Amino acid sequence: MVFATVASGVFMWAVHLFSKVIPPAEYGVLGTMLQLLNWVVIPAVGLQMVFAQQSSAAAGEDGRRAVAATVRAVMKGVFALWLAVALFVGWRQAELCEMFKVANPAALWATLAAGLALLWLPILQGVLQGRQNFLWFGISGMCGGAGRFIGAGVIVLAFGGWAAGIMTGVLLGLLAALAVAAWQCRDVFHGAVPPFAGREWLRRVVPLTVGFGAGQFLFSADQVFVQANFAAESTGPYVAAGTLSRALVMFTGPLAAVMFPKIVRSVVRAEGTDVLRFTLLGTLAMGGGGALALSVMAPLFITIGFNPKFVSIAPLVPWFVWAMLPLALATVLVNNLMAREVFRAVPALAAVAGVYACALGMLVPKFAAALPSAEGFVRVTQVLGCFNLLLLAVAAWFTWRGK
């Protein structure tokens, strides 16, 4: 899983090489569209985890058929909700493009189409995760990263596409990942299934979505607020610093992904396990080492992997990457809480995300108006670091003291 995530992450990072050939303002739009997709991941993470949980606990043929019924019903429901969002975007397209400084509306529509694939993908990947089929789970992720890079490369280099072209490449990558996962889960689309127990399913998915969504919101919200408030020409470098720093959470994420179904199974079987302790220590070691490396080598990574003009943003990277380390650790603890269905922690986790949104809404416009861009960006990452620490503290309290 770590190898697959690193390989997929390399391909996804390689998309940012195109920052060398597209205007900085378009790169800022690209970064914002990618973070909007991370907002789509908020319900998607809940979907993946509830399917991982249900698949882990499924026993016998009846359990497998119940999973199949849930997969089919939820995929239909997700499409209906997505269609409603698409109609809203069509109605407010001009306002949305103005807000996010999108010159080509195709970027918005490619992001919307990618959102549907991104909502369907975790349903099937959750089944793979619950079955502990980590081989094909990882291959699906690598196909997604490779498809994104190849598709974006062809469109940008051969046809001159900018943010819209790269987002189309993102869509192609997600479709490739979805195809692999669907092939491995093809049994859920065949045969008779029992009625979908919608009420019971919602009782589980809502707290999982909110619990995991709190961390996902902290992971991605800053870029959206920065794009809406800072000058368009200054947001490209911020995207580069954020991309490097967010990679820390993605790099350590596989440890929590492997831990989740193992804890679910240990709870179902009433068995003890040390997997949380080992996962937390592994995340701390990997995350701390990664944060140190990025802090020291930020100018080199930015020069090689992004537009060399963005190297001036390198002093922001240490602030940013150490602000993300508490989120990587909090992700492990939240996975443990949700796997054990400690849903009483969910309101507190959601409160952290809600207060963070209010803080960004009040502070980022002031930073943009009163400070130079470089100093304003440091203030934004300091706010992010404080709330990531708060999320870690809340998750730790419910893990060890909130019983």
- Kindly state whether residues 183 and 212 are assigned to the same domain: no
Q: How many folded domains does the chain comprise?
A: 2
Write down the pLDDT at residue 35: 74
* Greatest mean pLDDT among 185-189, 241-245, 352-356: 352-356
- Kindly state whether residues 93 and 150 are assigned to the same domain: yes
3-class SS letters over 275-336: HHHHHHHHHHHHHHHHHHHHHHHHHHHHHHHCCHHHHHHCCHHHHHHHHHHHHHHHHHHHHH
Lowest mean pLDDT among 47-51, 112-116, 328-332: 47-51
> Which positions ≥6 away from 372 have C-beta within 8 Å?
none
362 inside domain: yes
Put simply, whether the predicted model's pTM sits higher than 0.85 gets the answer: no
Lowest mean pLDDT among 1-15, 204-218, 375-389: 1-15
Last residue of a domain, one of 144, 177, 196: 196
Q: Where are the beta strands (DSSP E) in 115-271?
A: none
78 inside domain: yes
- Kindly state whether residues 229 and 179 are assigned to the same domain: no
Q: What is the mean pLDDT of the chain?
A: 85
163 inside domain: yes
Write down the pLDDT at residue 379: 95
Last residue of a domain, one of 145, 167, 196: 196
Whether residue 262 is predicted with pLDDT greater than 70 in this model: the reply is yes
Distance CA 248, CA 225 (A): 21
Task: Read off the tokens for 273.
Answer: 């396990």
Average pLDDT over residues 178-186: 93
Last residue of a domain, one of 196, 219, 246: 196
Q: Which long-range contacts (CB under 8 A, 24 or more apart) does 56-64 make?
A: 56/130, 56/131, 56/132, 56/261, 56/264, 56/265, 56/268, 57/130, 57/264, 57/265, 57/268, 58/130, 62/194, 64/187
Confidence of residue 270 (pLDDT cuts 50, 70, 90): low
Distance CA 278, CA 34 (A): 32
> Which positions ≥6 away from 60 have C-beta within 8 Å?
none
Write down the pLDDT at residue 327: 95
Distance CA 347, CA 181 (A): 33
285 inside domain: yes
- Kindly state whether residues 164 and 211 are assigned to the same domain: no
- Kindly state whether residues 162 and 207 are assigned to the same domain: no
340 inside domain: yes
pLDDT (tens digit per residue) in 132-155:
888 898 899 899 888 888 888 888
Percent of the chain residues past pLDDT 90, beyond the cut: 30
Write down the pLDDT at residue 320: 94
Write down the pLDDT at residue 268: 64
- Kindly state whether residues 329 and 184 are assigned to the same domain: no
313 lies in which domain range? 199-398
403 inside domain: no
Write down the pLDDT at residue 66: 84
Write down the pLDDT at residue 402: 59
Of the CA atoms within 13 Å of residue 280, those in its CB half-sphere come to 14
Write down the pLDDT at residue 184: 92
Whether residue 383 is predicted with pLDDT greater than 80 in this model: the reply is yes
Whether residue 87 is predicted with pLDDT greater than 90 in this model: the reply is yes
Write down the pLDDT at residue 376: 94
Write down the pLDDT at residue 59: 64
Write down the pLDDT at residue 190: 84
Write down the pLDDT at residue 32: 79
- Kindly state whether residues 214 and 292 are assigned to the same domain: yes
Residue with tokens 């790269």: 166
- Kindly state whether residues 243 and 174 are assigned to the same domain: no
Confidence of residue 211 (pLDDT cuts 50, 70, 90): confident
Q: Mutual orientation of helices 232-268 and 316-339 as an angle, nearest 10°?
A: 30
Whether residue 6 is predicted with pLDDT greater than 80 in this model: the reply is no
Distance CA 184, CA 140 (A): 10
Confidence of residue 227 (pLDDT cuts 50, 70, 90): confident
- Kindly state whether residues 316 and 176 are assigned to the same domain: no
Whether residue 197 is predicted with pLDDT greater than 70 in this model: the reply is yes
Lowest mean pLDDT among 22-31, 92-101, 258-267, 394-403: 258-267
Confidence of residue 278 (pLDDT cuts 50, 70, 90): confident
Q: Which helix (H) or strand (E) holds 145?
A: helix 134-153
Query: Which of residues 251 and 335 earns the better pLDDT score?
Result: 335
